[in-house]
Amino acid sequence: MPTTPQSNPEKLETSWRALQEHANQLKSQHLRDLFSADAERFQRFSLEFGEVLLDYSKNFITDETLKLLRDLAQQADLKGWIERMFSGDRINNTENRAVLHTALRNRSNTPVMVDGENVMPGINRVLAQMDDFCGRVRRGEWKGYTGKTITDIVNIGIGGSDLGPHMVATALRPYWKDGLTAHFVSNVDGTDINETLAKVSPETTLFVIASKTFTTRETMTNAHSARQWFLDNSDGDPLKIRHHFVAVSTNSSAVQAFGIDSHNMFEFWDWVGGRYSLWSAIGLPVALVVGMENFKQLLAGAHEMDRHFAEADFSENMPVILGLLGIWYRNFFNAGNHAILPYDHSLRLLPAYLQQADMESNGKRVTRDGVPVDYDTGPVIWGQPGTNGQHAFFQLIHQGTELVPADFILPIRTHHPISEHHEILSANCIAQTEALMRGKTEDEVRKELLDAGMDEDQITMLAPHKVFPGNKPSNTLMMRQLTPYNLGTLIALYEHKIFVESIIWNINAFDQWGVELGKQLAGVIEKELDSAKPCTSHDSSTNGLVNYLKK
């Protein structure tokens, strides 16, 4: 049995052990039987918040499970940690930082203090700066160097400075202003910037260089290539750069050194983690294409979820329920992965976004105090939009040997009501959750094959292949429509789910030291690739690869 994920104590250990015993009992039951035994199961295990419905009834849970999970949360002082996060305590202990993405969308504007200073005036100032700037670009008042209006926004950033705004801008495509297109360049592979630059004109393109540090190798390489392309394809006057380049950063000296006017720098703060930054000026490309009013709706939706998370009882608290279910599967059912399956083409980047949000936050091997854990932490997050995934990897979820808890996400109304597309999409989404839950028994398969006219030998041969064990858990999240507000709610829901898990695991969800080593070594190898001498400083594989590449 794993030890408990907190250094305090006995009560926690008792909760953990109780859950372990309960899981062992529950494993003998099939989800199908839990549904047969309780006609009210959907009503009891579903929850509405705003325009979002969470159905979590297709999980291996009973009232007792939820009670035990809530006990665990209580023993881990989840309530206290939520308060600490919202009130600006430096809960990111390894970087000695507060964690205040919630302040960025604090639409009630109540003071949020960091070191005795209210951060809200600063947040409101940058929002006003964004508002003014977006208005000028969208009204065509902001001109390119030849006097033309801006038609293309190219965001250059990576990781947290790319995935959030890229996902949100893609999700909110129906809200884009006509004649204004957003592009996102992140990869240092020159293909990314080259392919994007081929689509735009230097006269009408605005580059947003999004980098908290303004030192990230990939972003600065892409930014310098964009700058050079601009100079090569315009009249070559470096003073014109300020018409076409703005920055979102915390590093004003580096921004100025790049040639960007300091008035065109949008600030954010060290208490905004990269992967939690889309609510800050990192959301600028989104605000540019959808407009500031819609951007504020996104913030408002997230804010409502923040209040729900902070105030609702754990028994009806969506992020708490999702987080505790995450613990349930990871630690008591040994599920090493979790699928995100949006049944909405506009949400096609959500799995990649949540992959970073979750895996960079909870992919940790030591506790907040630096002690190695001996229980599992963050799972592998992956997914694709439906129905595409059904024709690809769903086979493994239905009939493979790996348990894959999954979240299905479905907007009820589509922005693209063409013939029966949305009905087909919706039917598939719901059907998959049913198929995963109930499966198909051998008797059902045999009857089907018999009805199809097969003989006993054929039936015996085929039946095992056609049986679906079922008993596969899933959550379904439905929302009325994918609006900026509902999207804000959805993203904040997942952010807080991740936080809940990190508290139970006693890990710091807000640092990311695991990305450093590769960066350091790449710096060394970059120099070696440039040198005329053969490389001998590493192991034989690394030397061999460097030398092979040089040849």
Give the separation between CA 274 and CA 280, rounded to whole angstroms: 10
By C-beta, is 55 or 192 nearer to ligand G6Q?
192
Is residue 391 flagged as an active site residue?
A: yes
- By the 10 Å C-beta count (0-12 exposed, 13-18 middle, 19+ buried), 14 is classed as middle
Residue type, 183: H
Nearest approach in angstroms of CB 406 to ligand G6Q is 25
420 phi and psi angles, rounded to 5 deg: -100, 20
Nearest approach in angstroms of CB 479 to ligand G6Q is 26
Is residue 263 flagged as an active site residue?
A: no
Among 5, 88, 159, 283, binds ligand G6Q (CB under 6 A): 159
| Six token digits for residue 415 | 């922005």
Site string for ligand G6Q, 240-279 (x = CB under 6 A): ---------------------------------xxx----
Site string for ligand G6Q, 349-388 (x = CB under 6 A): -----------x----------------------------
Contact yes or no for 69/327 (Cβ under 8 A):
yes
Site string for ligand G6Q, 208-237 (x = CB under 6 A): ---xxx--x--x------------------
Give the separation between CA 346 and CA 410, rounded to whole angstroms: 11
Q: Kindly give, in sequence order, each residue whose CB lies less than 8 Å from that of residue 313, ignoring residues fewer than 6 positions away.
A: none
| Four-residue CA torsion sign, 140, 146, 152, 155 | negative
Angle ∠(344,206,175) on CA atoms, nearest 5: 30
Which stretch, 152-160, 290-298, 340-348, 488-496, contacts ligand G6Q (CB under 6 A)?
152-160
Contact yes or no for 458/446 (Cβ under 8 A):
no
Give the separation between CA 398 and CA 408, rounded to whole angstroms: 15
By C-beta, is 144 or 351 nearer to ligand G6Q?
351
Size of the site for ligand G6Q (CB under 6 A): 14
By C-beta, is 74 or 251 nearer to ligand G6Q?
251
Pairing of strands 474-481, 52-55: antiparallel
> Considering only CA atoms, which of 394, 388, 385, 390 is closest in space to residue 345?
385
Which stretch, 206-214, 433-441, 487-495, 541-549, contacts ligand G6Q (CB under 6 A)?
206-214
Q: Which of these is catalytic: 267, 304, 360, 495?
A: 360
Give the separation between CA 173 and CA 452, rounded to whole angstroms: 46
Site string for ligand G6Q, 314-353 (x = CB under 6 A): ----------------------------------------
Nearest approach in angstroms of CB 278 to ligand G6Q is 10
414 binds ligand G6Q (CB under 6 A): no
Is residue 442 flagged as an active site residue?
A: no
| Six token digits for residue 257 | 């050194």
Nearest approach in angstroms of CB 247 to ligand G6Q is 11
502 binds ligand G6Q (CB under 6 A): no
For tokens 């009130």, name the residue: 87
Nearest approach in angstroms of CB 332 to ligand G6Q is 29
Cα 495 from chain centroid (whole Å) = 8
Contact yes or no for 348/342 (Cβ under 8 A):
yes
Within 160-199, which residues bind ligand G6Q (CB under 6 A)?
160-161
Give the separation between CA 519 and CA 381, rounded to whole angstroms: 23
By C-beta, is 218 or 304 nearer to ligand G6Q?
218
> Considering only CA atoms, which of 359, 341, 525, 367 is closest in space to residue 435?
341
Helix (H) or strand (E) holding 341: strand 337-342
Nearest approach in angstroms of CB 277 to ligand G6Q is 7
Nearest approach in angstroms of CB 286 to ligand G6Q is 16
By C-beta, is 144 or 159 nearer to ligand G6Q?
159
What amino acid positions are annotated as catalytic residues?
360, 391, 519
Q: Which residues of the chain form contacts with ligand G6Q (CB under 6 A)?
A: 158-161, 211-213, 216, 219, 273-275, 360, 512
